[in-house]
Amino acid sequence: MKMLINAPDRVVDDALRGMAAAHPELSVDVENRVVVRRDAPVSGKVSLVSGGGSGHEPLHAGFVGRGMLDAACPGEVFTSPVPDQAFRAATATDSGAGVLFVVKNYTGDVLNFDMAMELAEDEGVRAARVLVEDDVAVTDSLFTAGRRGTGGTLFVERLAGAAAEEGAPLETVEALARRVAGACRSYGVALSPCSTPAKGGPTFDLPADELELGIGIHGEPGRERRPMMTAAEIAEVTVDALLEDFGAPAAGRPFLAVVNGMGATPLLELYGFHAEVHRVLAERGVTLARTLVGNYVTSLDMAGCSVTLCEADDALLRLWDTPVSTAALRWGC
C-alpha cells in the first residue's frame, strides 16, 4: 500500500507537528502527545478531556477548541493513550472547576483514563468520567466489554463542551454528557478494509463484491457480510437497526445526525447516502433537526460509512447551535 508518510513509527508525531503548524490556536506537545486549546485553562470553566488511538481523525484532536474539548491525547494508531497523557491534559487545562474525561468504551481507553483520573484526583483535581458506548451492532467485541464507543462521542464532546463553555458546573456538565451518551446510537458499514502504517496493508480480508454490516472503527468484525448493496439498501438496514434499538422514540422528537465517512469515501457518495438516510427516516416518521455529513470518526483509509443518531430536545438543539471553533467543527464565531 502506498501511504503519504515518512516512516510507520513517526506517523503520529509527524501528524501532530503538522497540526501545530496549521493551527496556532492550539498548543501541541509533540513529545508528550497532548493537544490543548491555547487559552487553557479558562478561568471558572470545567475542562473536557478526551483521546484515543490515532487513525480516527479528526476525532479527537480536531475537536479541541472553544465549545468542545479543552484537550485531547492521541495514542499510537488504534492504541489507547497512556495514563500520563490524559493526566497531563487534565492538569494543563484544569482551572479549579474540575475535569470531565470523555471515554470511548474500549478496554484500553477505559483502564488508562481511569488511572489518569486517579492521578488527577491525587493532585487535588476534581474529576469525573463519562463512557460512550453507542454502537448498536455488536456487544462484547474484540476490544470491549459491552458496546463499542463510536460516533456518539462527537455529540457528547460537542454538547457537554457547549455547556462547559457557558460556565455550567462539573456536576451539570457530567449529567448532560451522560444524558447525551445515553441518547446516541451508531451503526457502521465497511466497503473495504483499512490499512495501518505498521502493517502496510489491509487489516482484514473483504472480497470486492461484499460488504460488512455493523463494522467497528478498528476493523472489528460486524454483524454479517452480504453481497454488495445499493446506498438505498444500506440506508434501510442502517436506519432500521438504529430505530430498533431506540425502541419507540417520542413522536415529533427531533434528532441530531452524523452521516460519517470512514476515511476513504468521497463526499459525493456520502451526500448521496445521506439522501437515502433522510428518506428512510422520513418514512419512519423521524425528523432530523441538524445533520453533519463528512469524515468525523474515521478508520484510516477504510471505505464505508456510519450513521449516528442522537435523540434531542430544544435545550440540546440550543447548545448545539452555540459557537464552536475547532479544527474540524466551526460555526457561530
Give the C-alpha separation, 265 to 303, whole Å: 5
Whether 188 contacts 150, CB under 8 Å: yes
Q: Which of 56, 136, 123 is nearest to 89 (CA)?
A: 123
- Point out the residues that are catalytic: 56, 218
Look-up: residue for cell 485531547? 72
Rounded Cα–Cα distance for residues 184 and 153 (Å): 9
Helices of type H across the chain: 11-22, 83-93, 107-122, 152-165, 170-182, 231-246, 267-283, 314-321
In 3D, which of 316, 308, 290, 267 has the Cα closest to residue 151? 308
Distances 256 to 99, 152, 279, 287 between C-alpha atoms, Å:
26, 10, 15, 9
Taking alpha carbons only, the member of 195, 163, 196, 191 closest to residue 177 is 163
Burial class (CB in 10 A: 0-12, 13-18, 19+), 2: exposed
**Cα–Cα dist 180/191, whole Å:** 29
CA–CA dist 176, 150 (Å, integer):
18
Q: Please, are residues 163 and 172 in contact by the beta-carbon 8 Å criterion?
A: yes
Q: List strands edge to edge, sheet with 330-331.
A: 65-66, 324-326, 330-331
Helix, strand or coil, per DSSP, at residue 33: coil
Query: What gap in Å lies between CA 60 and CA 22, rounded to an integer?
Result: 16
